[in-house]
């Protein structure tokens, strides 16, 4: 039970961090490309 819970927690946390870090990093790094800009616009608007 302990291992399973930890595994799920770690997996969920990693996904959350990656999702939040991906757009944040991409926006700052690829802000000129405009790839993260359009993707971020529809996400919050939805």
**pLDDT digit string, tens, across residues 4-39:** 444 555 555 554 544 444 454 444 555 455 444 444
Burial label for 37, CB within 10 Å (0-12, 13-18, 19+), is middle
Distance CA 17, CA 23 (A): 10
Report how many domains make up the chain. Answer: 1
Distance CA 22, CA 28 (A): 10
Is the pTM higher than 0.75? The answer reads no
For 7, the domain range is: 2-45
Give the residue carrying structure tokens 């870090």: 21
Distance CA 27, CA 34 (A): 8
């Amino acid at each position: 039970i302990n291992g399973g819970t930890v595994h799920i927690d770690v997996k969920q946390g990693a996904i959350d961090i990656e999702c939040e870090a991906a757009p944040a990093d991409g926006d700052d790094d690829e802000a000129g490309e405009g790839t993260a800009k359009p993707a971020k616009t529809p996400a919050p608007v939805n």
